Amino acid sequence: MEFKHIPVLLNPTIEGLKIKSNGIYVDGTIGGAGHSQKIIEKLSSNGMLIGIDRDEEALKATKNKLKDYNNFKLIHGNHDNIKRILNELNINKVDGILLDLGVSSYQLDEKNRGFSYIGENELDMRMDKTQQKTAFEVVNNYSEEELANIIYKYGEERYSRNIAKNICKYRKEKEIKTTKELVEIIEKSKPYSKDGHPAKRTFQAIRIEVNDEIKPLYNTVIDCIECLKEEGRLCIITFHSLEDRTVKEAYIEAQGKCTCPKDLPYCVCNYKSLGRIINKKPIEATEEEKKENTRSKSAKLRIFERREKR
């Protein structure tokens, strides 16, 4: 299957990065290179694009898509390890970093990956198919309390406890092996609603747990900022309120805050600051983009600029 992915918030993201033609840029979730193609088009032969992704299929697709360029490097890895990855490439600082969080359109559409609640496929949901933990393990081995907690926390599902209870009840008779079985359990665990597919929130929660998408995110944001050159930009696109909240909190912490009394003529508290938040309110898709690409409806872009406090 062709790796298709429509880049979300493409123009504001590219503008937000303030790309320099000879700069070094990292796409920590390169996917099918939707954003990265635009980045590399703006680079000269002296510039460099580094693409990181956990999904080997994404890296294959990117290599093919960028075949006419020779100023890029592709890394099979996790953006959570960005400091180590750059160190191994003998790169100290970069001019810009992009993180487009969440699952890609390809991963959702490629049914045998188990991300989709449509159809009948194995419970997998791994972004990196070399890792051991799968959705099958989470669904069949987690305790009822653990399941209820992740479904509520990561899926914001109000019927999480009932869903977890029925999952555990079902698996006493037989293992839950397919997405269809899980969807049927979820549908029987909550009342009918017009608010999207009944399994959407639970599948999102399990996917986040399988791929450990939230726990390291705060530290990853700080690491990315510390990897930026002076005036370098970090652009992060989120699709989930918990992701967005984490990014926002990390940005606020990185920006720092002066605690001096307001009547002092200058700062004496020596607060630490790694830079400044460019947009206090997240940038969202236009109504036109939301119509053209439904995935953009929940997308939020936050931008941070590295600046040494003087």
Which among 211, 228, 252 is the end of a domain? 211
Taking the CA atoms of residue 22, residue 80, residue 4 and residue 114 in that order, the dihedral angle to the nearest 10 degrees is: 170
Question: Does residue 266 belong to any structural domain of this protein?
Answer: yes
Which among 160, 182, 211 is the end of a domain? 211
Question: Does residue 49 belong to any structural domain of this protein?
Answer: yes
Question: Does residue 1 belong to any structural domain of this protein?
Answer: no
**Which residues have a Cβ under 8 Å from the Cβ of 6 and sit 6 or more positions away?**
34, 105, 293, 295
Question: Does residue 115 belong to any structural domain of this protein?
Answer: no
Domains of the chain: total: 2
Whether residues 207 and 149 share a domain: the answer is yes
Taking the CA atoms of residue 159, residue 162, residue 163 and residue 165 in that order, the dihedral angle to the nearest 10 degrees is: 160
Q: Which helix (H) or strand (E) holds 72?
A: strand 72-76
Tell me the torsion sign for CA atoms 273, 277, 280, 281.
Answer: negative
CATH number, domain with residue 173: 1.10.150.170
Question: 145: number of CA atoms within 13 Å, CB side?
Answer: 0
Whether residues 239 and 301 share a domain: the answer is yes
CATH number, domain with residue 84: 3.40.50.150
Question: Does residue 2 belong to any structural domain of this protein?
Answer: no
Which among 211, 238, 263 is the end of a domain? 211
Question: Does residue 158 belong to any structural domain of this protein?
Answer: yes
Residue range(s) defining the domain that contains residue 244: 10-102+215-306
**Which two tokens mark 278?**
């460019």
String of b and e for 56-76 (b: at least 16 CB within 10 Å)?
A: ebbbebbeebbeeeeebebbe
Q: Please tell me the total number of residues recorded for the chain in this structure.
A: 310
Question: Does residue 108 belong to any structural domain of this protein?
Answer: no
Whether residues 14 and 98 share a domain: the answer is yes
Whether residues 163 and 220 share a domain: the answer is no
Whether residues 219 and 92 share a domain: the answer is yes
Whether residues 21 and 73 share a domain: the answer is yes
Question: Does residue 77 belong to any structural domain of this protein?
Answer: yes
Whether residues 222 and 279 share a domain: the answer is yes
String of b and e for 103-142 (b: at least 16 CB within 10 Å)?
A: bbbbbbbbeebbbbbeeebebbbbbeeeeeebbbebbbeb
Tell which residue, 3, 6, 5, 11, has the closest CA to residue 235.
Answer: 11
Whether residues 89 and 27 share a domain: the answer is yes
Tell which residue, 223, 107, 192, 200, has the closest CA to residue 154.
Answer: 200
Whether residues 166 and 145 share a domain: the answer is yes
Whether residues 126 and 74 share a domain: the answer is no
Concatenated DSSP letters for 215-239?
TTHHHHHHHHHHTEEEEEEEEEEE-
Whether residues 202 and 225 share a domain: the answer is no
Per-residue pLDDT of the chain (310 residues; tens, 9 = 90+): 455 567 999 999 999 999 999 999 999 999 889 999 999 999 999 999 999 999 998 899 999 999 999 999 999 999 999 999 999 999 999 999 999 997 766 666 666 788 889 889 999 999 998 999 999 999 999 999 999 999 999 999 999 999 999 999 999 999 999 999 999 999 999 998 888 899 999 999 999 999 999 999 999 999 999 999 999 999 999 999 999 999 999 999 999 988 888 888 887 888 889 999 999 999 999 999 999 998 899 999 999 999 976 5
The Cα angle at residue 154 between residues 249 and 180, in degrees rounded to 5:
155
